[in-house]
Amino acid sequence: MKSLLRHTGRALALGAVLFAGACGDDNNTTPSTPNAPPPAAPAPAPAETPAAAPTPAAAPAGNVTGVQGKVRAIDGTNLRVGDVDVDVTEATELVREFQGAVPFTELQVGDFVRVRGTMSGDGETITAIRITIITDK
pLDDT of the residue at 51: 47
Compute the mean pLDDT over every residue in the chain, rounded to the nearest whole number. Answer: 74
- In sequence order, the 6+-apart residues with CB closer than 8 A to the CB of 34 are none
Judge whether 8 lies within some domain. Answer: no
Convert the pLDDT of each residue in 14-26 to its tens digit: 555 455 555 555 5
The range of the structural domain enclosing residue 120 comes to 64-134
The residue length of the chain stands at: 137
**Tens of pLDDT, residues 71-120:** 999 998 899 998 899 999 999 999 998 888 898 888 999 999 999 999 88
CB 93 within 8 A of CB 101: yes
Q: According to the model, what pLDDT value does residue 131 have?
A: 94
State CA 77 to chain mean position distance.
Answer: 32
d(CA 39, CA 137): 44
The verdict on residue 57 lying in a domain is no
Determine, yes or no, domain membership for 32: no
Residues 131, 66: Cα–Cα separation, whole Å:
10
Number of domains in the chain: 1
Which residue from 75, 80, 90 is spatially nearest to 115, judged by alpha carbons? 80
- Within a domain: residue 121? yes
The predicted structure's pLDDT at residue 133: 92
Contact 128, 86 (CB under 8 A): yes
Distances (CA, A) of 127 to 35, 47, 55, 65, 108: 70, 37, 15, 10, 18
C-alpha separations of 65 from 29, 56, 89, 118 in Å = 52, 7, 16, 6
Whole-prediction pTM: 0.55
The CATH number given to whatever domain includes residue 127 is: 2.40.50.140
Amino acid letter, 41? A
Work out the pLDDT band at 48, boundaries 50, 70, 90: low
